[in-house]
Amino acid sequence: MTLFTIIVPTHDRPLLLQRTLESLAAQTWQDFDVVIVADSSAYVPPYQQLQAFTGRFTYIIRSGVNGPAASRNMGLQVAGGDYIVFLDDDDTFRPTHLEGLARHIHSGGKAGPELLFCDFQIQNEDRTVYPPTALSSQPVSIADVSTESIYVRNRIPNSCVVYRRDVVAALRHETGLIIYEDWDFLLAAIKGRQLRHIALDTVVIHKSQATAPENMRRGNSRDDKIVEVMLELYRKHPGPTLQVRQTRQALLASAGIQLGIENF
């Protein structure tokens, strides 16, 4: 059994997927396998990059509705690593990322920590050329994120979370959500569990102009659904304390939405 299974959902972004896989091939810690789940058969698998993972990868082309939630769920069905990491097909890991995670996992006792999350870097880029041209980069620390704050809003990119496999064995992403399916999944995972921060910023979240054709994804421009889905998640995952519920209420009130505390 490997230490990590990296699940990569992908949708018609073959060049960005190649870059993501190249970042995995460059890892200084190689005790991992990769599950790539494509929700479109428009492009052939990136065979050249997959050669780096001979005997350690699964490539699935699935049918059904497009979207990362169903692809992540399919990846979970075949994942065999001790820890599960979701990596978006346009994000990358610095070469020492998995090594840093492994060091912290092995220092956490026999069972290992249940959930980890780390800091990250944002790289703004021009994707009209390949390889994309980096425009700016900045480190982002989320060390102040707590379990309670996640119940209010989620500031942890999906690629920055590490789940022990038993924590997510019975969990699946909600395919009916057009946005925030990763937040919903994290809320389900943290119930009654310990969440540990690691001071690593070796995840790179790549961003380009949101409306650029090469960047369009399901939910990418659905700002009109934010409040509706937030309320749905608030009701699905009730605040564990009165303070959390009041903070949720105040957040929506700041946006002009007045609702009773029973909604939070």
Token duo for residue 227: 């409040």
Q: What is the pLDDT of residue 216?
A: 45
| Residue 109: burial class (beta carbons within 10 Å; 0-12, 13-18, 19+) | exposed
- Of 177, 127, 116, 155, residue with least CA distance to 19: 127
pLDDT at residue 214, rounded to an integer:
53
- Give residue 224's pLDDT: 84
pTM of the predicted structure, to 2 decimals:
0.94
Consecutive H or E run containing 38? strand 32-38
Q: What is the pLDDT along the chain (264 residues), one digit of tens a residue?
A: 899 999 999 999 999 999 999 999 999 999 999 999 999 999 999 999 999 999 999 999 999 889 999 999 999 999 999 999 999 999 999 999 999 999 999 986 778 999 999 999 999 999 999 999 999 999 999 999 999 999 999 999 999 999 999 999 999 999 999 999 999 999 999 999 989 999 999 999 999 986 665 554 444 556 888 999 999 999 999 999 999 999 999 999 999 999 999 999
CA distance 53 to 47: 10
Name the DSSP class of 214.
Answer: G
Let me know if 124 is exposed, middle or buried by CB neighbors in 10 A (0-12, 13-18, 19+).
Answer: middle
Whole-number pLDDT of residue 219: 45
pLDDT at residue 212 in the model:
61
Task: Write down the pLDDT at residue 209.
Answer: 81
Domain boundaries, the chain: 4-116+155-194, 222-264
Q: Is 55 helix (H, G, I), strand (E, B) or coil?
A: coil
| Distances from the Cα of 199 to the Cα of 64, 217, 238, angstroms | 39, 30, 29
pLDDT of residue 169: 96
Q: What is the CATH number of domain 4-116+155-194?
A: 3.90.550.10
